[in-house]
Chain A
Amino acid sequence: MKYLLMMMFAVVSLVAQQGAPSSGVAVGDPAPSFRLKNIDGKYVSFDDYRSSKGLVLVFTCNHCPYSVKYEDRIIALANETAKLGFPLVAINPNDPVKVPEDSYDNMKVRAKEKGFTFPYIVDETQEVAKQYGAKRTPHVFVVTNSSGSWKVAYIGAIDDNANDADKVESRFVLDAVKSLASGAAPAVTQTKAIGCTIKWKE
């Protein structure tokens, strides 16, 4: 037990010293492919979006108050980015054993209640969240598609004010998508935000 504690301390120290966590993708990296089940029972993957310029992947869930705060904004964002050739896909990475509210059945209920116009897919094994390095909900990854070669172009927050949508000054994801859609590099490619930790399986 004592050994374990010392190990944990070493890990904490390491993270504290080295800065950004090493796991997951960075901007410019190839975007990991996925094939995950949507609430309608069908599977969603990059293949379904061959004609898109890219995708807005949002790791989110039902229960997290920060995700809830952003729910209406995610719905609005999905409409805006889809018009620019970047459909939005919501991915729930949470362990439903830890948070029953985030179960597959409850995802269906929430999507219906809120009238989601986009896929809401479940990352049952949590592998996709791990490959991307998603840390919290909501956590956004904008990926671009260049003839089937998918790359990460933006990682981070939806905008700069979680508490008050009226006081938002920078809409990071929309700005990034606008730039990418016009063939330019986004001015901001990485932002941090407060959020709920992803509920990993034990």
Chain B
Amino acid sequence: MSVIGSLSLILLLWSGVEEVRLDQLQQRLATGKDTTFVVNFWATWCKPCVEELPAFDKLSRRYKDEPVKVILVSLDNPAERQTKVEPFLKRRGYELCDAVVLNEPKPHLWIDRVDQSWSGSIPATLFIRGERRLFGEFQFSPELLESIFSTFQAEGK
């Protein structure tokens, strides 16, 4: 295999959708003190989730030069990470959002760790900046997402 071939293969592998445990995700959210994380829980099989994803893509593009990070957390079966989730995201062109597949088999143990108020239905979204957090369990239109995001950004500043 040529050097360029090997390099592009490495790049391809590197840019894929990672599989994470909740601990890893929470560590990441705890690192960026000034960064606002918008964490959307979704799945390829969830129709309202798929419908609202463009709103999150739009948000990530709009704030790409600011300390704002949209993380798409897929709750698809981790076994379908490469066959379903990656092709889906690639096809839609959501490359500005970070995407991970959550690998936590026991929902009754981890749902409360994301937010006590979460019933477990998706879509669900967590806004987090340092100590501030806001959790909601409903489908966003682009306008509503932008509005709630702006309000969240303005508060505590």
Binding site for B on A (CB under 8 A): 5-6, 8-9, 12-13, 15-16, 18-21, 65-66, 135-136, 156-157, 160-164, 167, 169, 172, 191-198
Contacts and interface: CB of A to CB of B under 8 A. Distances in A.
A197 B107 contact: no
Contact of B148 (A12, A160, A167): A12
B107 A193 contact: yes
A162 B106 CA distance: 8
A197 B43 CA distance: 12
A197 B108 contact: no
7 contacts: A8-B144, A15-B117, A20-B116, A20-B117, A192-B118, A194-B107, A194-B121
Interface in B116-157: 116-123, 133-137, 139, 144, 147-148, 151
A197 B147 contact: no
B120 A135 contact: yes
B75 interface: yes
Contact of A9 (B106, B118, B135, B148): B148
Interface hub of A12, A156, A195, A196 (most chain B Cβ within 10 A): A12
A97 B139 CA distance: 18
B122 A197 contact: yes
Contact of A163 (B48, B79, B120, B144): B79
A194 B75 contact: yes
A194 B148 contact: no
Interface size class of B (residues with CB under 8 A): 20 to 34
Contacts of A157: 107-108
A55 B69 CA distance: 46
A66 to B, nearest CB: 8
B77 A160 contact: no
B120 A193 contact: yes
Contacts of B136: 12, 15-16
Contacts of A15: 117, 135-137
B25 to A, nearest CB: 15
Contact of A194 (B116, B122, B134): B122
